[in-house]
Structure 1
Amino acid sequence: MRLSNQLTGIINFITLVLSIPIIGVGIWLASKHNTDCVRFLQWPVIIIGIFIFAVSLAGFLGSCFRVAWLLWLYLLVMFLLIVLLLGFTVFAFVVTNRGAGHALAGKGYKEYRLGDYSTWLQKRVQNSNNWGKIQSCLSDGEVCSSLSKYTSLYSFNSANLSPVQSGCCKPPTACGYVFQNATIWVSPVSPYADSDCRLWSNDQTQLCFSCNSCKAGVLYNIKHDWRIVAAVNIVVFVLLIVIYSIGCAAFRNARREGYYGTDYDKGYDPRTY
């Protein structure tokens, strides 16, 4: 068996094996959890796992048994995947080129504004269906519960809050709410200073989860994560190009065998007769 066939077979066998636990995790999420947060994640996990399994199986069988049509299908999907990956990487850099926290005098944390982000990202979180799922994740994750350790205004102002905690767990500073504890604030001095001032609630299941500042904090995390994913995608893109090239060589081998049979490997070439 030619080296390209062997390499293609080994690579796809590894990804075939790795896809099984991915599918298993998706099924486990579907069977064990019922919250909107987990439902938001389970089907993408299952679909990705099945996709990797199917593509890897086609590549493995096609390379090991030199089935030309399976390898052709495998290469077609790989080509589409490379194009999609490149497109997503460029798109990710474009839509995350805006958005940053605003430092406040005397505060250890920053505040975030929804208008600072790209229009495309803003529309995603302003969609009530999308935001409802994200709110479920925030509630299930109890992102504000750790703030209970800040028992004084001084300690709270000195805290290094995460973007989500800053946007979702307290009212905007401009509102002038009076600190009672980390998640109880009363009597806003300027209730119209920000549209979020009227959305704040001392209900621990609500807080500022409906605020634009909360959406902005979530978008900051998304921006940060997408930047990391885009950087990783560049590495994956290069690896896929290498794997695709090896797969092309394996496809040529399988097609030659289909034309000339096993004697071709023994040095017999009908084209010379």
Structure 2
Amino acid sequence: MVRFTNSLIGFLNFLTLICSIPILVMGVWLSKQANTECERWLEKPVIALGVFLLVVSLMGLIGACCRVSWLLWFYLLVMFLLIVLLFAFTIFAFVVTNKGAGEVLANKGYKEYRLGDYSNWLQNRVNNNNNWNRIKSCLQSGKLCSQFHSQFLNDNVNKFYTEQLSALQSGCCKPSTDCGFIYENPTTWTKPANAPNTTNPDCDAWNNDPTILCFNCQSCKAGLLQNLKTDWKKVSIVNIIFLIFLIIVYSIGCCAFRNNRRDNWKRY
């Protein structure tokens, strides 16, 4: 039993060790290839994750295979903290992404998004000027709306209204429908003399300048939050699967630690 649990925890950590190497290599590759701040933001978390997995898997591998009880104990402590943090993050992600959804419009293939529909915590993140300026810079340098313009350039107004736009395309690259603007092309809209009265601040924020468009609009922030909500929901599902895996590994590790101590006592 002692050999089986130690071999199993050693094998699992060997697999984790193998997985950590390409993650670490990917992080280093990103740091070399990135040309802008928006491309670099991912490199540090990826490198940190690779190093963390490498160190933890080495602790588990050495602790189990060499029967180093204190190292295995430290490995289990780190695993326990990781389980708690991952569980807390999963609950948090479900709570903050519970609110918010696109508004279905009559005779439109796309939805529109309102910032006030999302959780206060998410709203505060995008309403922070420093945060939003960095996000806006990334959206602009990522050519979100220039690609949107090219994709739907040949659409007439009726065809455009039937398109299935993404949340970011709908929120950042065109004005809100209630502004009553006249369609010229996907990123050029004319404000009519008899435009409807509306309290929507996005109507004044819209600008046909390709570098401005609706990047300063609340709808653009809402579109980003809708994307974030969708991504976090997917991440939360992956987290649950990963949590189950971690709990199983932790349980096996506890058995290995208990067997190591029992074996050491027998020696003395």
Fold match by TM threshold 0.5: yes
Q: CA deviation at 1:226?
A: 1.1
Distance 2:104 2:35 in 1: 39
Q: CA deviation at 1:34?
A: 2.9
CA contact 2:167–2:226 (8 Å) conserved in 1: yes
Which residue pairs with 2:241 in the alignment?
A: 235
Which residue pairs with 2:93 in the alignment?
A: 92
Distance 1:255 1:157 in 2: 69
Which residue pairs with 1:265 in the alignment?
A: none
Give the stretch that moved more between structures: 87-96 or 124-133.
124-133
Q: 1:112 to 1:156 in 2, by over 3 A?
A: same
* Residues 197-251 of structure 1, C-alpha deviations (whole Å, 9 max, x = no match): 1221222222211211011011111111111221222222221111101001111
Give the stretch that moved more between structures: 37-46 or 251-260.
251-260
CA contact 1:110–1:166 (8 Å) conserved in 2: yes
CA contact 2:21–2:50 (8 Å) conserved in 1: yes
Q: CA deviation at 1:191?
A: 7.4
Which residue pairs with 1:221 in the alignment?
A: 227
Q: Which runs of 4+ in 1 moved over 6 A?
A: none
Unaligned runs of 5+ in 1: 262-269
Q: 1:209 to 1:147 in 2, by over 3 A?
A: same
Helix, strand or coil at the partner of 1:185: strand
Distance 1:39 1:128 in 2: 20
Count of residues in correspondence between the two structures? 262
Distance 1:190 1:35 in 2: 41
Distance 1:39 1:199 in 2: 30
Q: CA deviation at 1:190?
A: 4.3
Which residue pairs with 2:37 in the alignment?
A: 36
Q: CA deviation at 1:59?
A: 0.5
Alignment-mate amino acid for residue 13 of structure 2: N
**1:48-63 mapped onto 2 (5 Å cutoff):** 48-63=49-64
CA contact 2:5–2:253 (8 Å) conserved in 1: yes
Distance 2:150 2:226 in 1: 23
* Residues 80-109 of structure 1, C-alpha deviations (whole Å, 9 max, x = no match): 111111111111111111101111112111
Q: Residue 164 in 1 paired to residue 168 in 2?
A: yes
Name which of 206, 210, 222 aligns with 2:212: 206
Name which of 172, 177, 202 aligns with 1:173: 177
Which residue pairs with 2:138 in the alignment?
A: 137
Q: CA deviation at 1:54?
A: 1.0
Unaligned runs of 5+ in 2: none
CA contact 2:107–2:161 (8 Å) conserved in 1: yes
